[in-house]
Amino acid sequence: DVKVTQSSRYLVKRTGEKVFLECVQDMDHENMFWYRQDPGLGLRLIYFSYDVKMKEKGDIPEGYSVSREKKERFSLILESASTNQTSMYLCASSFYRDNIQYFGAGTRLSVL
Amino acid sequence: SQQGEEDPQALSIQEGENATMNCSYKTSINNLQWYRQNSGRGLVHLILIRSNEREKHSGRLRVTLDTSKKSSSLLITASRAADTASYFCATDFGNEKLTFGTGTRLTIIP
């Protein structure tokens, strides 16, 4: 079975802190994604990576950056956390040819 | 926005009944997928239907696709309490990304 692992299930940070969310997949997928999920808004794509060191902005990249130094790992970085970044963050991965996405369990981030 | 929209937003039915939820989208697609999300967890892929297919089955799931109306439906037959979850459609426009709808929250009443 494909496994996508997010480093934390729950995280509490203070405004202005630098926050790292880590995601690791074990299926050699080319594509990796970061989404945030908010009530009534569904899933919104923050960033997408289709290869090592390659990244593409999604629909809401402002306030976020990403890093993909190894194929299996995709990190989301909040440079200076703000309260409006309190949300559920979901990581996913997929093969390029069928685009079926496999999700991690999610990280619920609270910024106080 | 190209986001798909599910209908209804919420649905409550008795165990054993069938549940139908719908998805509409705005532009041509390569395929459409349905995912389930249990409360507070990640999404799980259920089924994929390609743009040249009209109907697909997987166990108690039946998905239809009408590209002329830009809509899809997911039918869950003989519902069980374990089917309680949120269901999302996701459209693939051929750019290696998916666009997710806002979901239908399904509650199965025992």
Q: Do A42 and B48 touch (CB under 8 A)?
A: no
Q: Do B96 and A41 touch (CB under 8 A)?
A: no
Any B CB within 8 A of A45 CB:
yes
pLDDT the model gives residue A98: 79
pLDDT the model gives residue B3: 63
One digit per residue, the tens of pLDDT, for chain A of length 112 reads 769 999 999 999 999 999 999 999 999 999 999 999 998 888 999 999 999 989 999 999 999 999 999 999 999 999 999 999 999 999 999 998 778 999 999 999 999 9
Q: Percentage of chain B surpassing pLDDT 90?
A: 83
Residues of B in contact with A50 (CB under 8 A): 96
How confident is the model over B22-38, as pLDDT tens digits?
999 999 999 999 999 99
CB A101 within 8 A of CB A5: no
Per-residue b or e along B55-90, where b marks 16 or more CB atoms closer than 10 Å to that residue's CB: ebeeeebbbbbeeeebbbbbebeebeeebbbbbbbb
Q: Do B96 and A48 touch (CB under 8 A)?
A: yes
pLDDT the model gives residue B1: 46
pLDDT the model gives residue A74: 98
Any B CB within 8 A of A105 CB:
yes
Q: Do B31 and A99 touch (CB under 8 A)?
A: yes
